[in-house]
A and B are shown apart, each in its own frame.
Chain A
Amino acid sequence: MEEGRAERRRRTEALSHPQGGTRRAGVMTDVHRRFLQLLMTHGVLEEWDVRRLQKHCYRVHDRTGAVEELEDFINNINSVLESLYIEIKKGATEDDGRPVYALVNLATTSVSKMASDFAENELDLFRKALELIIDSDTGFASSTNILNLVDQLKGKKMRKKEAEQVLQKFVQNKWLIEKEGEFTLHSRAILEMEQYIRETYPDAVKICNICHSLLIQGQSCETCGIRMHLPCVAKYFQPSSEPRCPHCNDYWPHEIPEVFDPEKEREAGPSKVSKRSLRSRQH
């Protein structure tokens, strides 16, 4: 059982001597456990919810302790989760850059997470929609185009009417977002499935030039074709008066969105109509 011993040693070492950085193996307390429980219950949470959640967990278990900085708090937990192949992943909504967090499984292909919820033909519908979204230029697939594919689905035959309802189910479960009859991926799906998508569609997949993560919606340079997320555009061009493409230096032809500011968000109150920055059709 050389394998077993080596495996055990490697894992022990990995925890006590992480490669790179001074991060030592994290220590789980009830504060962290409750946090994980509640994060898992909610699936995906926005950053301000996550902060509230963190404060709540401290209040319950460790009133006297100082609330650790969120990033460190999460890194701490992640160092324990590492050996389990799961992670608290941080992403951002593609349209206005709101940070979101989700507990994701790094090991399995993430479509299987949905597998327990949906029938075979429903899963296949999702895969078809996913392909259309990835292949599209705007990151959106029209309802019509998706529904035209119902005949090609695996499993039980599905009518278009049924497929419409299944698509709504995807929206309710936060896998897809619908805007004006078109569908794109919810930030949750992007967080959970990024790895799967990059492995399954290596040629069609688009990557942001700035953050190098998966890109579904964004802006692109008309000259050289590189793409950037809207929030990445906002951050990158914030200081400059004359935005130029980072790759080919050509004038950047699109409107620069505002950087997401959580403070302004809170002042604006629950109605977020004004903050909705442009959905990009600017390709």
Chain B
Amino acid sequence: MSEQSKDVCDPNSAAEASNSEVHSSPGVPGGLSPPASQAATLAGPESPPLGPTDAPLASPPPEAPSEEGDPKALQQAAEEGRAHQALSTAQPGPAPPAPAQLVQKAHELMWYVLVKDQKRMIIWFPDMVKDVIGSYKKWCRSILRRTSLILARVFGLHLRLTSLHTMEFSLVKALEPEELDRVALSNRMPMTGLLLMILSLIYVKGRGARESAVWNVLRILGLRPWKKHSTFGDVRKLITEEFVQQNYLKYQRVPHVEPPEYEFFWGSRASREITKMQIMEFLARVFKKDPQAWPSRYREALEEARALREADPTAHCPRSSVSED
């Protein structure tokens, strides 16, 4: 993945490329002029952009066009793709693919990312390269850029590199967060309720929750480790394997205890996606009490909420797949 010099397909620069562009503000209908003029300047030289003698078309990446004017945006994206190609073919290498093929790859990648996200699976950069980009590795930056553009324009989602260390991407909402989403489709995803139950138990305890404690709580829902459930299936497998795989929970052996016992902790994904305030609200709903019935936890939740607001004044909250009940 790192043989080429300039167009090293590295997730960070690719992500930067996509992030610097995609900073669509929620759609204000109208306003065709900015994208149109940019498309016009880029579209200027109608002659084929390929060839090492080309004048550099490396204008700074244009701002993401506002949401209307789709034909213009597509045109612009096509131009960019070609501009990028011009740079990359300055050095001898394999024949560059037609823009149509890059566009197709961008569409494939868009679908791939959407499906991974739908299944709450991790979007891992090496997987993206292996499963979708394949031999177009060299152009992955422009492919990624186009995909991000489409996702922002059509779905209102940011494809963001959440961790350079693990090379993970995630889809983050670009629209304002809306708690009402949960209300709109409540009871549609029972898994969420189950997960929230466990997470809130851990939270209230303030430390890891022993497996036995978790089962005591789940018994209230009529769930037992040995019984198959009509909705959840194998509950034990779900909470000790699937939720763990999805990084919503951590399942670890309790040290120095015989016979062996295990406990649950919040997973990294839960910490990212679920706020303490959401847990408090969940507890309030379930126990029909005021969240302040857990005073120290409530205080923590308030502090976290304040910290989040300060950290991100533009109010782009992390996309919570959980709030989309």
Task: Using CB atoms and an 8 Å cutoff, list the residues of chain A in contact with chain B.
Answer: 1, 3-5, 7-8, 11-12, 15-16, 25-30, 33-34, 36-38, 40-43, 49, 52-53, 56, 59-61, 80-81, 83-86, 105, 107-108, 113, 116-117, 168, 172
Contact = CB atoms under 8 A, between A and B. Distances in A.
Contact of A29 (B27, B108, B180, B181): B27
Contact of B178 (A8, A27, A60, A83): A60
Given A29-B27, A40-B118, A41-B321, A80 B155 contact: no
Contact of B155 (A3, A33, A49): A33
Given A7-B100, A12-B71, A36 B115 contact: no
A16 B71 contact: yes
B150 interface: yes
Contacts of A86: 107, 111
Nearest to A7: B100
Given A84-B154, A116-B119, A117-B119, A40 B185 contact: no
A113 B29 CA distance: 34
A69 to B, nearest CB: 19
A30 B175 CA distance: 7
Contact of A7 (B29, B49, B99, B156): B99
B141 interface: no
B229 to A, nearest CB: 11
B71 A15 contact: yes
A173 B29 CA distance: 38
B21 interface: no
Nearest to A28: B67
B306 to A, nearest CB: 24
B195 interface: no
A83 B74 contact: yes
B74 A43 contact: no
B74 to A, nearest CB: 6
A8 B39 CA distance: 12
A161 to B, nearest CB: 13
30 contacts: A1-B48, A4-B98, A7-B99, A11-B71, A15-B71, A16-B71, A25-B71, A28-B154, A30-B156, A30-B175, A33-B154, A33-B175, A34-B156, A34-B181, A36-B154, A38-B185, A38-B324, A41-B321, A42-B185, A43-B118, A53-B185, A80-B70, A84-B154, A85-B107, A105-B111, A107-B107, A113-B115, A116-B112, A116-B119, A172-B233
A142 B321 CA distance: 36
